[in-house]
Structure 1
Amino acid sequence: MTRILGAVLAGGRSSRFGSDKAAAMLGENTLAQHAAAAIAPHVETVVHVGGEHGIADVPGSGLGPLGGIAGALDHAARHGFAAVLTIACDMPAIPDALIPALLRRLPSYCVDAPVLGVWPVSALDELVALLQSSAPTSPSVRFFARTIGGIPVEASAPIPNINTRDDLLAL
């Protein structure tokens, strides 16, 4: 059986939100806890990447979601995982069939929210090289996914994405 690590990407600046989105409350749980709960049934364990107490981005901070994905892949490689399922901390709900659809294909990513994807640990070196060659800007997750032959998977329903406090209040 393939060992899959779950990773909640929580290292963004949250500039439109005005404070740390990962720690924002939705009901009795934080947004990051909701995201972790969405992927937990599908992975061996869930870690947080970025933020004050999360795994560090690779090769360094300020590279956007791809730095977080690289950090998760690096952690997974050092702990014997074959792949990483990533989700952004601001995605508190996922259509039921989407994650199983992503896991049937490796690598794969959600067309509507590319940071939601399954990435093989074998792509780590290619991702780090891409990030280092693109500095100071970072390529998009979609570009990386296409570079490694990622299969696009469509969501069967809209995926909430919390960028502002109004987005949070609308849920």
Structure 2
Amino acid sequence: MTGILGAVLAGGRSSRFGSDKAAARLGGWTLAELSSDVIAPHVDEVVLIGREHGVPDLPRDGLGPLGGIAAALDYAATHGYRCVMTIGCDMPVVPPVVIEALLRRAPAYCLDAPILGVWPAALGAHLLSYLEVTAERSVMGWARSIGALPVAADGPVPNVNTPQDLARLADSLLVES
């Protein structure tokens, strides 16, 4: 037992994608399922955040990834987890070395994709307060405010924001096979 909750943030509007990107498919799996699979070996449980049948954003919808992280921290604290590993539903491929580096440095975030991070569950109240007193909705801004350590990836961390991103990722995975 690691004491770590995994949280797939899937509550965005997907405006650049044009449809629900969490449900978009790559190799027969949804992006949300693939993102869950990326973190599952490193956590005790994986929850979906910001979806109809998942954990709702806190303190309300429309706050971007920080609302999802706040929900994940609250869920973790009330379910006895010491930390949360967050990942975007649009991150179906992450080098394991990045995950391992984050786990060694919590609180920490991926410099190339700040939504990918490890956060102590005890920071939930701090984040809710931060969301109420600041207009900034940047994950990196909040991460800096709590002294989280940035972890650089050795290579690109794919992030699927458009259908073209998904097609490029699918093509690159075919080339690697």
1:96 counterpart = 2:96? yes
Across the two proteins, how many residue pairs are aligned to each other? Answer: 169
Secondary structure at the aligned position of 1:152 is classed as: strand
Where in structure 2 are the equivalents of 1:22-171 lying within 5 Å? 22-134=22-134, 137-171=135-169
Shift of 1:139: 2.4
Q: Is the 8 A contact 1:82 1:121 kept in 2?
A: yes
Work out the percentage of aligned pairs sharing the same amino acid: 60
Q: Is the 8 A contact 1:66 1:138 kept in 2?
A: no
The CA distance in 2 between the partners of 1:2 and 1:164, in whole Å, is 34
Secondary structure at the aligned position of 2:47 is classed as: strand
**Given residue 88 of structure 2, which amino acid in structure 1 is its aligned partner?**
A
The CA distance in 2 between the partners of 1:2 and 1:170, in whole Å, is 35
Shift of 1:2: 4.7
Shift of 1:68: 0.1
Q: Is the 8 A contact 1:64 1:138 kept in 2?
A: no
The CA distance in 1 between the partners of 2:144 and 2:2, in whole Å, is 22
Q: Which runs of 5+ in 2 are unaligned?
A: 170-177
The CA distance in 1 between the partners of 2:2 and 2:126, in whole Å, is 21
The CA distance in 1 between the partners of 2:40 and 2:5, in whole Å, is 9
Q: Deviations over 1:55-107 (max 9, x none)?
A: 01111110000000000000001100001000000001001201010000110
**Given residue 98 of structure 1, which amino acid in structure 2 is its aligned partner?**
V
After superposing the two structures, state which structure 1 stretch, 119-128 or 138-147, moved more: 138-147
Where in structure 2 are the equivalents of 1:5-24 lying within 5 Å? 5-24=5-24
Q: Is the 8 A contact 1:63 1:138 kept in 2?
A: no
Q: Is the 8 A contact 2:2 2:44 kept in 1?
A: no
Shift of 1:138: 4.1
Q: Is the 8 A contact 1:74 1:121 kept in 2?
A: yes
Q: Deviations over 1:113-147 (max 9, x none)?
A: 0000000111111100010112xx44210011111
The CA distance in 2 between the partners of 1:99 and 1:159, in whole Å, is 11
Q: Which runs of 5+ in 1 are unaligned?
A: none
Taking only aligned residues, the RMSD between alpha carbons, in angstroms, comes to: 1.0
Shift of 1:159: 0.7
Q: After TM superposition, what 4+ stretches of structure 1 lie above 6 angstroms from structure 2?
A: none
Q: Which has the higher helix share?
A: 2
Q: Is the 8 A contact 1:109 1:151 kept in 2?
A: yes
- State the TM-score, normalized to the length of structure 2: 0.93
Q: Is the 8 A contact 2:102 2:109 kept in 1?
A: yes
